[in-house]
Structure 1
Amino acid sequence: MRFRSPDAFTGSAQSYRLLPLRFRRLPWDRDRVFVSSLAGDWLMMRRDAFEQFVNHALDVHDPLLADLQARHLAMVDPQRSTFAPLLSQYRTRKSYLFGGPALHIFVVSLRCHHTCNYCQVSRQQTSATAFDLNADSARLAVERLFEWPSHELTIEFQGGEPLLNFDQVRVITEQIVARNVFEKRALRFVLASTLHDLTDMQLAFFQEHRFKLSTSLDGPEWLHNANRPRPERDSYRRTVEGMARGRRVLGDDAVSALTTLTRRSLEAPEAIIDEYRKLGLHSISLRPLSPYGFAAKTRERNGYSTAAYLAFYRQALEHLLAVNRSGYVMDETFASLLLSQLLGPFGHGYVDLRSPTGGGFGAVIYDYDGRVYPSDEARMLAAMGDTSFALGHVGQPVSDWLASPAMERLMAAGVAESLPTCSDCAYVPMCGADPIEHYARQGDAIGHRPSSDFCQRQMGMFDLLLQRYESADTTDRRVLESWAFGTAGSHQAEDTLDAAA
């Protein structure tokens, strides 16, 4: 809930003034509240102390009031104080907005040799070359890429299976590198792949251009092969072999993996984590299913409730902490992102946790047919027949995309602080709007937030991590802080979290 003092901006003669704040009663302790500022500073305090605070009953010399002022929740001595620190913190939290989209995804092919029933991409058969990105569209996409102002550009190649159209990956990379001699941007290349078809020639190319590789590993062999079937039943073996080849040439930190959780996955949190440890991986991403592509068609078979996911995650988190206590460093990517929002002053720019939304403001997707989308999810909706969030075509200038009806829809529903229910949520400074997911699940870009899977998952995760951080001993707290600040070893980059391998 949000509370705004009647005298917040009126120059009251009270001994202190309240600054804009929101609060939430802690589900695990109803006698305390979580209180957050406009810029995302926060603290947890007793409910009776909070009531004293908002009723101006705290003594001006109370140490709690000094803490509240330091967190931009109160202003003591308004005659000598300014809003400058609060505004500076808010600007820091939203700093990802200044450069425009930094993540640019090139879908070079929809072809794939897997038949995953949770696939969100709407894959095509390996012989269907009509679903490959052609040379003209690729050249125009590179032109559009450099129309964006961001100094740092992450170029990610996706599919389907992008290695099935490796020639286009090579050509696009070389065009970008050649153009960048004059543009002088900071470039980062990522390829999301099964890694089954890696050749020595491809690895040499990836090494030359310092590529990062991202793949999907759903857990132990029995689970991975069940989730990601091939006729030969060798998906796990080929994935692990591809990872090993990539790590030998590019280095251990250059190859990351993530898991997509089906209903059967929820029965094996420890086994999934132990598999990652066995393979020497130091980061894991426990992703829930998405409502797109084939995943939408098989929801009854593979899907599960948000409550079931959170129960799984609680069990997985405890096992991860135990693994770290044993001396093996491993983080969970989404927890790391949320903890960095809670414990640090900076917004990391991960698409799902941005307000205004990351779709179109933080990421752009160039599809195999030359169509352009503000996010991978918008592309998947279009593959299902709904082009509501299509920005345009690579043959158009970026200015046309920004003036498109799709961007208008995103801007209207993409500022979490202005949305019903979100505007009152104590977690909103650390969260995002994600209008495309709400549109996909509820048929409306704003959606009904109280029944939103997105909101229930985000609030549940924030609650879980806060409760665990508060109750942690020194060892576990250091582990969680290392996740937040990226010191937990091979921390997976947030822009590969959305990779559809």
Structure 2
Amino acid sequence: MPRLFYTPPTYGGHSPKYQLLPFRYTRMDGEELLVNEAGEYQFVPNGVVDQLVRHQLSTTTGLYQTLKAKHFVHDGDSSPLLDILATKIRTKKAFLEQGVTLHIMVLTLRCEHSCQYCQVSRQTADRTTYDMSTASIERSLSFMMRFPGKHLTLEFQGGEPLLAFESLRYAVGVAKELAAKHGKTISFVVCTNLAVSTDHIFRYLRDENIKISTSLDGPAIVHNANRLRSGGSSYDVTIANIRRAREWIGHENVGALMTTSRFSLAYPREIVDEYVAQGFGSIFLRAINPYGFAVKTVERTGYDSSEFLSFYGAALDHIITLNRNGTNLMEVYATLILAKILTPYTTGYVDLQSPTGAGISVLVYNYDGKIYASDESRMLAEMNDQTFRLGNVHEDTYLSMVQSPAFQYLLSASCNEALPGCAECAYQPYCGADPVRHHATQRDAIGHRPTGTFCQKNLGIITDLFRRIRTADPALQRIFFAWIRNKPHGSLISCD
């Protein structure tokens, strides 16, 4: 019987000495940066990529062995290494195993502040019709228990959730009963400006082990300009109540977030110094989000990506200098990205997940019982865009939610591995998809990535961090790994 197929040599000689594994690359400062599917990276001289793809790189060099060990190439001896690569990729995607673990409950839209960049279109403090009912609380918590994760986080938001304090108490009680019934544990966080806090409230938060996340935009000149409040300085109220909260529930249980407005851009060092002065161990240099009142006030509060990156770079320079001089202060966003670059693990930050964290790792239960894919989705709904409303706790099941057109639209743009502009980007393993933001700013969940603020911001920050990694001395290496491990950098041995 004649052979049906000719042998491989018939078609062009012998097989190459090695084969390529999937990787992406970019040029940076006279070198090439290679990044593979698991986020392993390697700087190589210019021209190495061309040698690789032409199979002209000598297999006897140290560089070849390094690229083989880091899963950029494989040969006849690579079978065990391929299993390791699969394990690394699986580890990076481990967040998918738990389903939704962060559940955000919006107890009220009421708030007594009038922040210029408010992203939720808050309501005045007397409009109680914007409070969540007990029936919606119960249904939301029952929905929450359907997810497989054994440890869940319930975050109370608003408006100002402490204006609905009795609703918060009721929700905590029901959540604990349901968690015990379903064999789960729950961590509680309340996001509050602290302005209406009392000793009675603090005592309850302490007794129930509820952590606080508050807002501090910087020194008084910045905080008061950004976060308006009738009756005097919002900064003075915030600082006084941060101190009271720490006395009641412990220093480590009170965190703060800042939002960068146009006014903030002129004060990078002062904002960082304020966090140091108030005894915080971390600062999150957050850009403004394009939702709610922030859209209406964009002329006063907004800025372009290059302006934010200049602010961010100056602030990060100052933070690193402070660390070099003995002050332990971590920048949260840099730490999240560094963890993805320098460790085999993922992070819990939904904006940097692929598939997207929206709807997959986080859900939001609005005051009216509607379910949204993320906090940003809920903010978008307050602007009369219900694109990412996944259902209603009074009407929908988990199955009807995931089968909804909204969820399918979200999933269609959820994996940056398959998005135009992201699929070819060297930084893809360290970034996310963020379809909600692209829909909000470009009216399409995929959008045009290079002109989107999400891409521009992350491209700038990740490039900056790689440059710092490339030239880092042992002291900076210790600082970066201390941030990742959340430890004082003086406690780590030298990395040289």
> Which range, TM-score by smaller chain?
over 0.9
Structure 2 distance, partners of 1:187, 1:249, is 21
Deviations 1:223-263 (A, max 9, x none): 10110011222211111111111111211110011110111
Q: Which moved more, 1:454-463 or 1:232-241?
A: 232-241
Find out whether 1:71 has 2:70 as its counterpart. yes
Structure 1 distance, partners of 2:281, 2:430, is 25
Residue 53 of structure 1: how far off its partner (Å): 2.4
- Say if 1:75 and 1:81, in contact at 8 Å, map to a contact too: no
Deviations 1:290-336 (A, max 9, x none): 10000011111111110111111111011001111221100011111
Residue 477 of structure 1: how far off its partner (Å): 2.1
- Counterpart of 1:23, as a letter, is Y
Deviations 1:183-234 (A, max 9, x none): 2213111000001122222222211221110011000011101100112222
1:198 is aligned to 197
1:492 is aligned to none
- Counterpart of 2:465, as a letter, is L
1:417 is aligned to 417
Structure 2 distance, partners of 1:11, 1:191, is 67
Structure 1's 257 and 83: CA in aligned 2 closer, same or farther, altered over 3 A? same
Structure 1's 445 and 488: CA in aligned 2 closer, same or farther, altered over 3 A? farther
- Counterpart of 1:306, as a letter, is S
Structure 1's 488 and 419: CA in aligned 2 closer, same or farther, altered over 3 A? farther
Deviations 1:39-88 (A, max 9, x none): 21111111123322222222212111111111111113268556322211
Structure 2 distance, partners of 1:488, 1:90, is 30
Instruction: Name the SS of the counterpart of 2:481 in structure 1.
Output: helix
* Structure 2 counterparts to residues 54-453 of structure 1, below 5 A: 54-77=53-76, 80=79, 83-395=82-394, 396-453=396-453
- Counterpart of 2:451, as a letter, is S
Structure 2 distance, partners of 1:129, 1:80, is 63
Deviations 1:335-366 (A, max 9, x none): 11011011111111311011111000010000
Structure 2 distance, partners of 1:193, 1:421, is 38
Structure 1's 80 and 326: CA in aligned 2 closer, same or farther, altered over 3 A? closer
> 1:24 aligned to 11, 23, 26, which one?
26
Structure 1's 250 and 51: CA in aligned 2 closer, same or farther, altered over 3 A? same
Residue 96 of structure 1: how far off its partner (Å): 0.3
Residue 488 of structure 1: how far off its partner (Å): 4.5
Instruction: Name the SS of the counterpart of 2:420 in structure 1.
Output: coil
Matched pairs, number: 477
- Say if 1:23 and 1:426, in contact at 8 Å, map to a contact too: yes
Structure 2 distance, partners of 1:126, 1:338, is 38
Instruction: Name the SS of the counterpart of 1:188 in structure 2.
Output: strand
Structure 1's 288 and 55: CA in aligned 2 closer, same or farther, altered over 3 A? same
Structure 1's 37 and 79: CA in aligned 2 closer, same or farther, altered over 3 A? closer
Structure 1 distance, partners of 2:140, 2:14, is 56
- Counterpart of 1:449, as a letter, is R
Larger Rg: 2
Structure 1's 82 and 329: CA in aligned 2 closer, same or farther, altered over 3 A? closer
Structure 1 distance, partners of 2:369, 2:488, is 39
- Say if 1:261 and 1:289, in contact at 8 Å, map to a contact too: yes
- Counterpart of 2:144, as a letter, is L
- Counterpart of 2:48, as a letter, is A
Structure 1's 11 and 280: CA in aligned 2 closer, same or farther, altered over 3 A? farther
- Say if 2:109 and 2:122, in contact at 8 Å, map to a contact too: yes
Structure 2 distance, partners of 1:399, 1:413, is 20
Greater than 4 Å deviation, 4+ residue runs: 78-82
Structure 1's 79 and 294: CA in aligned 2 closer, same or farther, altered over 3 A? closer
| TM-score normalised by length of structure 1 | 0.93
- Counterpart of 2:111, as a letter, is C
Structure 2 distance, partners of 1:450, 1:106, is 34
Deviations 1:439-473 (A, max 9, x none): 00111000001211111111111001111222222
1:13 is aligned to 15
- Say if 2:71 and 2:81, in contact at 8 Å, map to a contact too: no
Structure 1 distance, partners of 2:92, 2:360, is 15
- Say if 2:109 and 2:123, in contact at 8 Å, map to a contact too: yes
Structure 1 distance, partners of 2:89, 2:78, is 22
1:463 is aligned to 463
Structure 2 distance, partners of 1:488, 1:17, is 43
Structure 2 distance, partners of 1:342, 1:211, is 32
User: Greater relative contact order (Cα 8 A, min sep 6): structure 1 or 2?
Assistant: 1
- Say if 2:104 and 2:155, in contact at 8 Å, map to a contact too: yes
Structural RMSD (CA): 1.5
- Counterpart of 1:155, as a letter, is L
Instruction: Name the SS of the counterpart of 2:57 in structure 1.
Output: coil
Structure 1 distance, partners of 2:418, 2:142, is 35
Structure 1 distance, partners of 2:285, 2:256, is 10
Structure 2 distance, partners of 1:15, 1:436, is 45
Structure 2 distance, partners of 1:317, 1:80, is 42
Deviations 1:89-116 (A, max 9, x none): 1100000001101100000010001111
- Say if 1:104 and 1:366, in contact at 8 Å, map to a contact too: yes
Structure 1's 253 and 82: CA in aligned 2 closer, same or farther, altered over 3 A? closer
- Counterpart of 1:339, as a letter, is L
Instruction: Name the SS of the counterpart of 2:244 in structure 1.
Output: helix
Instruction: Name the SS of the counterpart of 1:230 in structure 2.
Output: coil
Identity percentage of aligned residues: 40
Structure 2 distance, partners of 1:464, 1:233, is 40
Instruction: Name the SS of the counterpart of 2:155 in structure 1.
Output: strand
Residue 485 of structure 1: how far off its partner (Å): 3.0
- Counterpart of 1:19, as a letter, is L
Residue 478 of structure 1: how far off its partner (Å): 1.1
- Say if 2:38 and 2:85, in contact at 8 Å, map to a contact too: yes
| TM-score normalised by length of structure 2 | 0.94
